[in-house]
Structures are given as structure tokens and as C-alpha cells.
Amino acid sequence: MGFKFYAPASLFLLLLSLPAFAYGWGVDGHAIICQIAQDRLSDPAAAAVEDLLPNYAKNNLSRLCSWADRVKFRYRWSSPLHYIDTPDGLCTYDYDRDCKDEDGVKGRCVSGGITNYTNQLLDYGNSSSESQYNLTEALLFLAHLMGDVHQPLHVGFTTDRGGNTINVRWYRRKSVLHHVWDDNIIETAEERFYNDNVEEFTEAIKQNITGEWSDQVAKWEKCSDNKVACPDVYASESIEAACDWAYKDVKNNTQLEDDYFLSRLPVVNLRLAECGVRLAATLNRIFG
């Protein structure tokens, strides 16, 4: 490649690699969740998903599972819908206290977003009215936000912005704690254990869903009080996991290596599994 291409190419790479604030699992984490979910859909839910997905991604929700991150700048209003800020050091989540955007507008957080898009999708197939909403977008938001609410640091402390302002080294490379949980743990797992292959990683999680974890799956799927979606339960689990695992023993400028990676990977595996199972269960309730 000639020198004259060097600058634009590297600028492009730089733009792609800019730290992603509050993006949720990286592309692979979201793709894994949506792939697990798609394979567990009931017939009516699978048919609705096929109908709502655009033609270029027919039958593959996982290809568009990061769509909501890509439109964050076009749809500026949507960016608070990806996370929840909780009070520093408390390790608890409370909808009335915490689900709001930076201007204090209630309901504008990832939990409110999940409820919003679940309610919109409940209109699907209602022949007496065309939904006033774009239900393709509702599906893509719901599939993505279910992932985000399961990423422990998407329900993190306010001052450090869910670990976005905590600088760390991931082995040799500079990173921030939030990005470690969005991407670095997953990428390192893929490199080390799964031939750099997201499908192999997904298969390994699916095997544990039908093996190791099979006796827990019914509990994961359940949503109390006959609710269709229960994001507040998942948000509470996330801030607990954030305190117990993500923030634990990490200070600004800590170097994170095998000790951290190997002890946290099981938590990431479990969150991805729970999330895939719950996304399917939620879609099955919506379209069922």
C-alpha cells in the first residue's frame, strides 16, 4: 500500500478504535447473545423476528444486534437508553432512584428502554391498528438493550461512568475498565480458547446452557408477576456483579492480567448465557 494511503487508513482505524463510552458488550458479546436467543425462539416468535428483520439480515438477528450502538449519534436521544448510573459505592439499583438520564428525566435508562420497546412490540400483529412505532427498530433496540443490562458495568457508579474513567492496562495494552468488560475479556477468551472464532465461543456457551447450567435455565427464563420483561431484576444483578467482580481489586492504572482474566471470564460466560436465554424467553412471551 502506497504512503499516500497511510494517513487516511490510519485515521479511519483511529476513529474505529476511539474509546467507546457506555457501548455495552462489544460487537461479539452482542452477537453471541442474539445468536443464543435466536436458536431458542418459539415458532411464532421466530416468524415475527423473520418478518421484522430487514431483508439483508433475514433470519439473523445476531448481524444487527449492535445496530443500536451504531445509531447512537444519529439518534442522540437514544444514548441514555444503554446504561444506568447508580450512586457511588452503594452496589444497589433502584428504578425510582436510578432510572433517569443526566437531565433527571425519569425512565430514560436501559431498564426504561427495555420496557418501552417490549410494549411497542406487543402491538405486533394487532390487525386493528398499525403501530405508530417502527417495530423493526423496536426489535433491534430490545435485542441490544437486553444485552447491555446484563453487562455488569452498564449498571455502574455515576462518577466513574461505569468504569469508563478508570484507566487500566489489559496485559500490555491501554484500556479502561468499562472496555475490559465490553470487549477485552471476550476477545482474549476467543484468542486463547476458541481459535479467534466467535461461533466456537457461542457453541461452548450453548453447550453449558444444555449441560452445566440446564437446571438453572427455567429460573432464568421466569419473570415474576406475569410480566413480559423484567429488566430491573437483571439490572440489580449487574450492579452486584460489578461490585463483586468488575470493580473489585481494581484501582486507577492497575494492570490486569491472568489473575483477573481467568477469575472474571466465568462471570462473563454466565451473563452472556443468562442474557441469551432471557432475550429468547422475552421474545417468546411478546409474540407468543
Ligand X SMILES: *[C@@H]1O[C@H](CO)[C@@H](O)[C@H](O)[C@H]1NC(C)=O
Cβ neighbors of 132 (< 8 A, separation 6 or more) are none
148 belongs to the binding site for Zn ion (CB under 5 A): yes
82 belongs to the binding site for Zn ion (CB under 5 A): yes
Q: Long-range pairs for 87-92 at CB < 8 Å and ≥24 separation? A: 87/157, 87/158, 88/157, 88/158, 88/159, 88/160, 89/157, 91/239, 91/240, 91/242, 91/243, 92/236, 92/239
Cβ proximity to ligand X, 10 vs 195, nearer residue: 195
Cβ proximity to ligand X, 60 vs 158, nearer residue: 60
- Which parts of 163-192 interact with ligand X (CB under 6 A)? 165-167
- Which parts of 238-277 interact with ligand X (CB under 6 A)? 252, 269
Q: How far is the CB of 160 from ligand X (least distance, A)?
A: 5
113 belongs to the binding site for ligand X (CB under 6 A): yes
Q: Which grid coordinates belong to 144?
A: 441490544
User: Which of ligand X, Zn ion, none is residue 148 near (CB under 5 to 8 Å by kind)?
Assistant: Zn ion
Distances in Å between the Cα of 151 and the Cα atoms of 50, 116, 133, 239, 268 are 26, 20, 27, 9, 8
The values of phi and psi at residue 86, to 5°, are -110, 165
Question: Which of 43, 191, 196, 212 lies at the binding interface for ligand X (CB under 6 A)?
Answer: 212
d(CA 269, CA 260): 14
Q: How far is the CB of 147 from ligand X (least distance, A)?
A: 14
Number of residues that bind ligand X (CB under 6 A): 33
Residue 124's identity, in one-letter code, is: Y
Stretch that binds ligand X, among 10-18, 43-51, 58-66, 274-282 (CB under 6 A): 58-66
123 belongs to the binding site for ligand X (CB under 6 A): yes
Q: Which residue has the CB atom at the shortest distance from Zn ion?
A: 24
